[in-house]
A and B are shown apart, each in its own frame.
Chain A
Amino acid sequence: MSDTKATTGGSLFTPFNMVAGLILLVGGAITVLRFTGGLGAVTNLSDYNPWGLWIGFDLLVGVALAAGGYVTSAACYIFGLKRFHSAVRPAILTGFLGYALVVFALHYDVGRPWRLPYPFIVQPGTTSVLFEVGACVALYLTVLFVEYSTAPLEWLGFKRARNLVVKLTLVLTIFGVVLSTLHQSSLGALYLIAPSKLHPLWYSSYLPVYFFISSIIAGMSMVIFEGTMSHKYFHDKMDEAHLKEADGVVLGFGKAAAFLLFGYFVIKLVGLAVDNNWHHLATGWGLWFLVEMLGFVLLPCYLYAVGTRDKNIKMIRRTSLIAVLGIVLNRLNISLVAFNYHLPSSERYFPHWMEIAISLFIVTIGVLVFRFVVTRMPILYEHPDYKDAH
């Protein structure tokens, strides 16, 4: 691939690099504007709409799509599904980058980012769901960093440190699942406090459960989707084990995701029934809700199931994109579309182009760092010195 060459000595001026470079330049300029002119200079946020795209997409979607790390490592190390082993490292890397970028993005969104550690070192507000989110994200980012560190340690040749980290694998994995359970669900619980602002079709006391279950679906779908991309662009970096196991990972996660999507659909129905919200289905909001539930939950569920039955790898890979988009849609619906549904359209929020540009900027940084790492470190292959099957 031409863009992998760029990092290995080829021409720097590939189309991909030029676009990425442009995004970075624009992002840099907006960054200056943000920290000199305040949030008002670059966002459409208002007193009615204090949370915009940077929370809806960068935080909620970012954290959900970074769930592949805990899902894959749990499947491999806790549930003992060893054939997922070659998928663990790329998933951990994506998770680590995802969370690091979430925290990075928060620095743009909060008013005084240098105070982000205040809840932990100055004055904890333990009654806040956001405190739980913050504490778990901070701890989990650390766990992911340690889990991921085996790759750079192998790359740099620090054998003893690397072996120490490998010994911690099980403890780190369990810790990671506990923290992920907590903060993935708490992101949904953030909205529990505002029943009067979130449309009843999306508001439910089960929101934490919905967020947790859908994060598992997001994690699996993301592993499949990202594997598809990696096969396209980094095929030469994959070793025999990775290539041999890749189809098994797709089939395994495809099948599990089909089951989970169905379960998710059922508990969403339970939520509708518990709050007796059926009558809302006949409204415009109901139509939009059905688009999400049928087009982005039941459809990928069906396609995953058929794909697994027919061992149709291509179909499962394509379905993963629908499932990922479904997660994006769900999180944006809750944070932006169905939030403040009661306000007149003149008071509703639509992101400023500079907010979109910063979100793009952050995703681009993620892709570039991912490329930097997989073209250098043992992510898609096992380091020849450490063939000991971890």
Chain B
Amino acid sequence: MAISRRKFLGWMGAAGLGATVGKSAHAASNKHFEGYPDSPGVLHDIVRCVGCRSCEAACNSVNQLPPPEQSFKDLTVLDRKRRTDAKTYTVVNRFETESGGNAPIFVKNQCNHCLEPACASACFVHAFTKTKEGAVIYDESVCVGCRYCMIACPFEIPTYEYDKALTPRVMKCTLCHPRLLEGKLPGCVEVCPTEALTFGRREDLLNIARERIRRQPDRYIDQIYGENEMGGTSWLYIAGTPFRELGKREDLGLTPAPALTAGALGAVPIVVGLWPVLLTGIYAVSQRKDKIAREEQSEAIADAVAASKEDAAAELKKVLAMKEKEKETAINMAVKKALEEAAKAQEEEAAKAQEEEAAEPPQDDPESKPTEEDS
């Protein structure tokens, strides 16, 4: 396949432009999103949690979820690690870590209500909303059921009703948003007997957390989980052991989820704007190349035809000239001969006349006729 210089340049342009896709659009901006001002959240003090599962029971009842297989009073369920599922918005898990002296540590898990939620960013029908009350809520009336929110959520919180044939929903904690609107506390916070859960302005909660860490540095590690993870969450956690040992991932990074795809999405209008221009350009170049090739070809043909015509004309002229000459020669010769013969005949006549005068009458000579040699 022959590649012309022009074509090659066209391709290089295309390749170069493609390589610009995927850079963060964030980089050019000095704006920093901090969430709704004064929006509330919940602080979970893991050190205070005793694993009584009252929060699970309260969550189940205020959200009218189906009754559990094992009673909420049954603490043997803590023997295995559990996650949220379509019938459970929150779970308490028990951890025993070496750094914690193998004492049981209880950790509640539920939707963290991110400040910039991955699920809301990922939803192609805008079914999730981060409200100013801090809750990330879900609108089942538009949900298509693609489950991209579940792929996107770094905390693996949203769950799906896989068993429903016609009306499956994504299920997750709502931070008791309807109760918040009524001025009530979330079910789990209200029922917690040890104040392991504190509801309040996120800013205040951060101060409370810092205060507890400062006052009891031997009980707490110096970290507030959720302060910055993936842009920060409305739920905050403090604990006495590293969070990675308590089922919380510390490798999520600080970039909020929407920023991860902003670059790719930002490239869309650029491609839409530039691609047609570039492609039309390549088309025009290839068309023009074809046209020039065609023109050169027809020009060459015309030249060749003209040259051969000229040759033919010259040849013809030469032949004609030769013929003319030959004809002339023939005529000249014929004339000469005729003259000679005429002269001869005259002579003969004269001689004959002399002879006649002298003797008998003269005879015709057959050889004296002019012969036609060529024409």
Contacts and interface: CB of A to CB of B under 8 A. Distances in A.
A84 to B, nearest CB: 10
Interface string B125-157: 111000000000000001111111011101010
A112 B167 contact: yes
B145 A129 contact: no
B371 to A, nearest CB: 68
Contact of A174 (B118, B258, B276, B289): B276
Nearest to A188: B264
A290 interface: no
B147 A213 contact: no
Contact of B147 (A50, A132, A170, A251): A50
B127 A125 contact: yes
Given A45-B162, A118-B125, A39 B168 contact: yes
Interface in A231-289: 251-252, 255-256, 263, 267
Nearest to B84: A47
Given A112-B143, A130-B124, A79 B286 contact: yes
Contacts of A197: 151, 154
Contact of B142 (A122, A127, A177, A251): A122
B164 A38 contact: yes
B228 to A, nearest CB: 15
Interface string A171-190: 00110011001100110011
Contacts of A123: 125-127, 142
Contacts of A36: 165
A38 B275 contact: no
A206 interface: yes
A193 B261 contact: yes
Contacts of A263: 15
A130 B123 CA distance: 8
A251 B282 contact: no
A194 B151 contact: yes
B318 interface: no
A37 B279 CA distance: 49
B178 to A, nearest CB: 21
Contacts of A14: none
A23 interface: no
Nearest to B150: A50
B125 A124 contact: yes
Contacts of A208: 21-22, 264, 267
B265 A130 contact: no
B109 interface: no
Interface residues of A, number: 72
Contacts of A174: 275-276, 279-280, 283
A131 B124 contact: yes
Given A132-B268, A206-B22, A112 B166 contact: yes
A50 B257 CA distance: 18
Contact of B162 (A43, A209, A213): A43
A119 B146 CA distance: 11
Contacts of B151: 50-51, 190-191, 193-194, 197
Given A177-B275, A177-B279, A193-B261, A38 B168 contact: yes
Contacts of A113: 144
B204 interface: no
Nearest to A256: B1
Nearest to A178: B275
B260 A50 contact: no
B253 to A, nearest CB: 7
B150 A125 contact: no
A111 B279 contact: no
B261 A189 contact: yes
A138 B267 CA distance: 19
Contacts of A119: 124-125, 144
B213 to A, nearest CB: 26
A192 interface: yes
A185 B267 CA distance: 10
Given A47-B156, A251-B1, A129 B276 contact: no
B276 A118 contact: no
A125 B145 contact: no
10 tightest A-B contacts by CB? A111-B145, A80-B286, A40-B162, A50-B147, A189-B264, A50-B150, A125-B126, A131-B124, A128-B124, A111-B168
19 contacts: A80-B283, A80-B290, A112-B144, A119-B125, A127-B121, A128-B148, A129-B122, A132-B268, A174-B279, A174-B283, A178-B276, A181-B271, A185-B267, A190-B151, A191-B151, A196-B251, A196-B253, A197-B154, A205-B23
